[in-house]
Chains A and B, each alone.
Chain A
Amino acid sequence: MVEPKDYDNDFENKWCPGCGNFLIQKAMKQTFAELNIPPEKILFVSGIGQGGKTPHFMKGNLFHCLHGRALAVATGAKIANHDLNIVVNSGDGDCYGEGGNHFLAAIRRNIDITLLVHNNQVYGLTKGQASPTSALGMVTKLQKHGVTSSPFNPLATALGSGAGFAARGFSGEPEQLKELIKQAMNYRGFALVDILQPCVSFNKINTHQWYKDRVYDIQSIGHDPSDLAKAIMLSLEWGERIPTGLFYQKESTPFHSRIGVLQDRTLISYPFDGEKTAAVF
């Protein structure tokens, strides 16, 4: 049996004490243990940012990409070998800002991977500038007069673009988060888990307590995840109350099942036959 500690490594952690990422990482390890996936059988693909560093602080195969490009690299890797179990760790800036086009394309392709977005509503690694999910009016050192764009809504965008799995977790609700990640990993297709994550150093508005006071579990009020219209309504709710949980899930055909040559076997597993190749020229 795989244990969460099998994912521990001895590389020095570089997050600030109290950062929400610790809890996200813990939930990841527990999920992988419960799914009995050993670290050598998982491929992390991550972007640039504090969230993107997560796989450095644990065991597993890893491609730590350029800022914003994790989904594109993950897409290529998954097409090459769709047996790979790929988890992408990204940030709100990384995924919704720099990599926004890849986010939309990944939803449409329905690449069978799990995307965890460490959404702290701020650029952590570059010391606190506004991110695409920062609240309108939020003051930062560089946005002195407050953020002047309205925030990006990842769940509404995903649902509006046809995503087959969309969930929101909160690092402060580790049990729920673990279950959401598990469901995402088990989902056949593109699975988004947007994770509310307090940044203790740079986001003084959306603190742990701020989220605690607002989040509620939509499953506990009986939300049916097959109800798209309701899911979209919930995705638009943000303020005094913030819904978390599995917003939407539908059965879908993942990208590799839409491609003829990938029906029966992985691309990498085909043998090369020079004679056969020459014969079709």
Chain B
Amino acid sequence: MRTNITVKIGGEAGQGIQTIGSLLAEVCHSAGLFTFSIDDFESRIRGGHSFNLLRISNEQLIAPGHIPDILVAIDQRTMNLNKATLLPDSLVILNAENKSDSNADIDENSCSEADLEGCKSDNVLRISLNRLAKEAGGLITANTVAAGCIFAVLGTPFDMLKELLVKKFKAKGESVINLNITAAQKGYEAAGTVRYHKQFDWKPTKTDRIVISGAKAAGLGALASDCRFFPFYPMSPATGVIASVVPYSGKLPIVVEQAEDEIAAVNMAIGASFAGVRSMTSTSGGGFCLMTEGLGIAAMTETPLVIVDSQRPGPATGLPTRTAQPDLLFVINASQDDFPRFVLAPGTPSETFESVKKAFYLSEKYQVPAIIMLDQFLATSQVTQQNFFKVDKDVERFILNEDNLKASDSLSQSPDTYKRYSITDSGISPRALPCMGNIMVRVTGNEHNEKGEISEDAKNKVNMSNKRNSKLAAMKKEMELPEIIYPKEADNQFFLTGWGSSKGPIIEAYEILKLDERAKERGINFGYIIFKDIWPMDAESLKPLIANKKLIMVEQNSNCQMGKLITQETGIIYHASILKIDGRPFYAQYIVDKALETIS
């Protein structure tokens, strides 16, 4: 039987909300459970309101939770923001202190009885985190106290928590370990006999599953692709991609360099790629704006380039720590004039790993830029996944090496005969690296002839544009068609259609809708369509697949960008749209409700 429990831990930034959440997730993982964890925080380091939303299940999770089964209110704000939406059987763990206590360490923001007014649940467990932490040996352990209490109500055997604490604090020594175990015990005991009514079967379980974010999957995908150079400029929510490779410097031959700005980052990546080293940079929409000219020079010089765009709401600074899908049409069209490029939008961490590998492969094979679309939701959510770290023994580089340079007589005889932009049927010209043999590699952002000389000749311009664009036919065939799922051919059938990170919530919404009474009564059927490989779009193949289907676009932007793109490429007009632009991720029930609303 499937059991799902959503735990929401809320408090101020700086209170260690994420620490509690990750401790919970780690213990769940050691019990073979599945987790889907999102962090919601403001663009500030201290204060404000932030929460961790951890969904736990005994089966694979593809989407985040929403209404908490267990609410952990570390501060009043958390209580006040959540009490009206709680379920009657939700359990509240309230950080409540006796504020008339003359104790100097009283947490002023902790809750009181007044904060419970209007609460939809009267299942309330009151504990005093600071008092218990002090009893345990230090205020610093308040998070561990909270974790102990949560584990108690989840019914986790204390030993499992203890084991993890020992592992986690091993490096810090015996006394820190003992301090935390005492704190956890205090929290655990404070729960008394209170248990949440849904329980898991807790026992230590070995799995080869991992808990991973999209950002980390992207970083590891790059390492698996033999990417060695990571120039970047910090920007949420893209920094995590680069941060995830930093621990590997020293172990693998990589250089991570903070550039002076995004323009430098992208041009540094291009320079390294030109010289023969695979490179990747990562940014969000605002940084991508600065990179657009770089995209153009990569295209014009036919230098491979991989960029991760981890999206957030805009325009301008927008919502730095929130999620959205507003950059699709931008990245497809970014930089002046027209040139081929790849745009891939994975939906899960494991797909991200594969998409990044594919991006490197395609970018070098076709000598065009490849862009991977993530967003704050996918980049930062920590999700249980089957271990997906498949690293190929070798990577194919599509570069003329010394041997095949020599083999080609004409090249070795006279350096002048190498044409970096030779016209070929495929549009792809054999690529050599600078200073590697006795040939000379010459590239320029000006329009050029086959040898890389600036050319303003009219006929040459047409030939060269055509050469670059002639790659498109083969590029389209590299794109996986969207996943299209529906139970059976039926009348009155609607397809929830999305791309990238909304995959999980869409599929979960579809599963709910299949069983939904309101839908059944009205004779409505559902299916879904998920795009992962987006650009270039193989419209000829796509068209017959979606021609007679009613598409309900599910996107996190205000102008239904994927819907527009489908119309632009296939002439097919979507039926309706569910657009969420509040900066918070989709959850399944939201899509379900909107879908039913939209159809009526």
Contact = CB atoms under 8 A, between A and B. Distances in A.
Contacts of B454: 53, 56, 64
Contacts of A60: 440, 442
24 contacts: A40-B435, A62-B444, A65-B267, A65-B297, A66-B297, A69-B294, A72-B263, A72-B267, A72-B268, A75-B271, A76-B274, A76-B275, A77-B272, A77-B275, A79-B229, A81-B277, A84-B434, A259-B255, A267-B272, A268-B276, A274-B391, A274-B394, A276-B252, A280-B251
| Chain A interface helix/strand/loop/mixed | helix
Contact of A80 (B259, B277, B297, B416): B277
B228 interface: yes
A208 interface: no
A72 B264 contact: yes
Contacts, number: 181
Contacts of B239: none
Contacts of A101: 260-261, 263-264
B229 A267 contact: yes
Interface in A98-122: 101-102, 104-105
Interface in A74-99: 74-81, 83-85
A76 B267 contact: yes
A41 interface: yes
B253 A66 contact: no
Contacts of A267: 228-229, 253, 255, 272, 277
Interface string B387-422: 001111111000000000000000000011000000
B435 A45 contact: no
Interface in A236-281: 259-262, 267-268, 270, 272, 274-278, 280-281
A56 B444 contact: yes
Given A61-B441, A76-B271, A102-B264, 13 more contacts: A40-B439, A48-B445, A53-B454, A60-B442, A61-B434, A69-B297, A76-B267, A76-B268, A80-B229, A80-B276, A260-B250, A275-B391, A276-B252
A104 B257 CA distance: 16
Interface of A: 9, 11, 39-43, 45, 48, 53, 56, 59-66, 69, 72-81, 83-85, 101-102, 104-105, 259-262, 267-268, 270, 272, 274-278, 280-281
Sorting the interface of chain B by its residue count into under 10, 10 to 19, 20 to 34 or 35 or more gives 35 or more
Contact of B444 (A40, A64, A79, A261): A64
Contact of A274 (B272, B392, B438, B445): B392
Interface of B: 220, 223-224, 226, 228-229, 231, 248-255, 257, 259-261, 263-264, 267-277, 279, 293-294, 296-297, 301, 389-395, 415-416, 434-435, 437-446, 452-454
A121 B202 CA distance: 75
B435 A270 contact: no
Contact of A277 (B223, B231, B273, B440): B223
The list of the 9 closest CB pairs from A to B, nearest first, reads: A76-B271, A72-B267, A64-B444, A76-B268, A80-B277, A73-B271, A61-B434, A270-B253, A76-B272
